A and B are shown apart, each in its own frame.
Chain A
Amino acid sequence: MSKELHKILQAREERAQKRSEIAAASKASVSLSLNIPSYPKHNQLCRDVFPWIVEELKIHLLAHRVELGAEDLITDEAGLLYLAVLEESDDLKSVKEITEDFESKHAVSRILDVDVYDESARPVSSGKKKPCIICQDKAAVECMRERKHDYQELRANIFEILQDYKDQYLAMEVSEKLSEICSRALLYEVSLSPKPGLVDFYDSGAHTDMNYYSFLKSTAALAPLWKDFALAAWKEDAELSRALSEIRVLGLKAEQRMFAATRNVNTQKGLIFLLGISVYTVSHLLKNHQELNVQNIRNCIRAICKDLVNAELVASSKKQSSHGEKTFQKYGVKGAGARYEAQEGFPVVFETALPFLEKQEKLDFQDKEVMENILSQTLLNIIANTNDSNVLYRKGTEIAEELKKLASEALLNKDNYNKLALFCGEQQISPGGSADMLAVTLFFYDVKQEID
């Protein structure tokens, strides 16, 4: 007998011993394992995905009112095993059916073994045969017996299925998490009140065509779309050189949803572009196992937005369609707005706002006052350090510089805030570009806090 086989057989007997101990307490049990032929019985991939499958099984059992008692996760020479005590054992046939339902619907269905053991540690069987992983119509046990397939071929097949499951699981997890962070950033930004010249909970600032509820509506309209930016980066053929056009396609769709929700008012158009790039970037780095540090993030944004100002603003400044384009024509790089910010890897966010925010007390939603104070200070910091192309476009250089000055004064002393607010009111200016950057800053702050 080979050394490996000896170890596997010994581990299986130890498992049987564990099941007997449960049976000794007159309890039935349920277990989950991965069916990996030959040796070794588990590798890093198996160990990565196994806990997720265990969680899925537990949710499935809970949803079907199967109550679990003490549980155990075992890693041994026979593979990975999840073993749990069943609190009720009146109807084990039903429990077996519930586990078979789980098994058959799972993405890695044919690799899963969910077993139910009765109070005498004997398996509850339904007599069903699991199909072979290679020849679908034949039972797996028959092929194993006849050694129909080469073990290496079988293992390669199994690991491919597991890898697909892992990729999909991670893509879903990353995209959902990033969507959550996006929507939260937008809600925090618009809800921060008061804000100078901007739409907040109490006031619509310099705006007559939108209010707080316009922002709630467009935030809600955008909420289901952020995950698409993350999934785009996760696609097999995703390439950074093509990312921008992908982001544009998704961005235009999002824009349409926003306009439909706000009756054609531009509430968050710039943000769709900025956060779209941000989500794509974080997703790209995670997919490629790169560390989420400032340098990697900025390099990736720069790679996506390479030469954006030249390609778009210089080339199209003759047509002068958007505000950003007109402002660029008049003020050059200083007025290049969001495109310039993107091309440079969001300097305001990573060189000013984020370091400032991270120096403050940790953002805690349960402490409303502290949180609002920090968000407000961060916004002022951004206004004081940014060339808001929105303000430049409407008011010119002098007013834009005055705004920056008043913001830095308000940052130094809270008593000066009113002067800034009054100025924005009188001049009817709204530092929308800065508000966008606050949302982007909050996005990266949360990414750092919540994704490892």
Chain B
Amino acid sequence: MKLIKKAQAGSFESSDILILASPVEEGEGRDIQIESGVFMQYGETIEKLIHQVLDQFEVNDVQLQIHDKGAIEPVILARMETVMQRALEMQKGTMY
């Protein structure tokens, strides 16, 4: 699927994650930047979860900027799903 617009989900609150998704040209692939403060050891885990959700939404071309504030797995998955729904305009009443 192709992203329709820029979208954002999450926050900078502790134990949360902020994800910004932007559409890119078809064929450019997935550009994922993760900023996880002092916990880079979880970068791989986060990335795996991100790809999992991208696969689920069949999104192949996207730019993601991610700020992790120590979110646990279900939070990462939930935020990622929300940002995709917003960027794909699958959900009404988006906040951003």
Contact = CB atoms under 8 A, between A and B. Distances in A.
Q: How large is the interface on A (under 10, 10 to 19, 20 to 34, 35 or more residues)?
A: 20 to 34
A172 B11 CA distance: 38
Classify the secondary structure of B's interface with A: loop
Q: How large is the interface on B (under 10, 10 to 19, 20 to 34, 35 or more residues)?
A: 20 to 34
Nearest to B14: A113
B9 to A, nearest CB: 7
Residue among A16, A113, A117, A121 with max Cβ neighbours from chain B (10 Å) = A16
B13 A16 contact: yes
Nearest to B78: A1
B39 A13 contact: no
A78 interface: yes
Contacts of B14: 35, 113, 115
Contacts of B42: 145
15 contacts: A1-B81, A9-B10, A9-B82, A12-B16, A15-B13, A35-B14, A115-B14, A121-B12, A123-B12, A127-B38, A129-B38, A140-B70, A141-B39, A142-B39, A144-B70
B12 A145 contact: no
Given A12-B16, A123-B12, A144 B95 contact: no
B75 A13 contact: no
B78 A6 contact: yes
B86 to A, nearest CB: 11
Contacts of B15: 35, 37, 144
Interface in A133-152: 139-142, 144-145, 147
A177 B79 CA distance: 49
A121 B13 CA distance: 11
Contacts of B13: 12, 15-16, 33, 78
B70 A122 contact: no
Interface in B18-38: 18, 37-38
A15 B69 CA distance: 15
A15 B11 contact: yes
Nearest to B11: A16
Interface in B61-96: 69-70, 72, 74-75, 77-79, 81-82, 95
A111 to B, nearest CB: 12
B42 to A, nearest CB: 6
B94 to A, nearest CB: 10
Contacts of B16: 9, 12
A30 B39 CA distance: 24
Interface string A9-49: 10011011101000000000000010101000000000000
B78 A9 contact: yes
A314 interface: no
A33 B14 CA distance: 10
A125 interface: yes
A122 B11 CA distance: 10
A44 to B, nearest CB: 23
Contact of B37 (A1, A2, A122, A127): A127
A127 B37 CA distance: 7
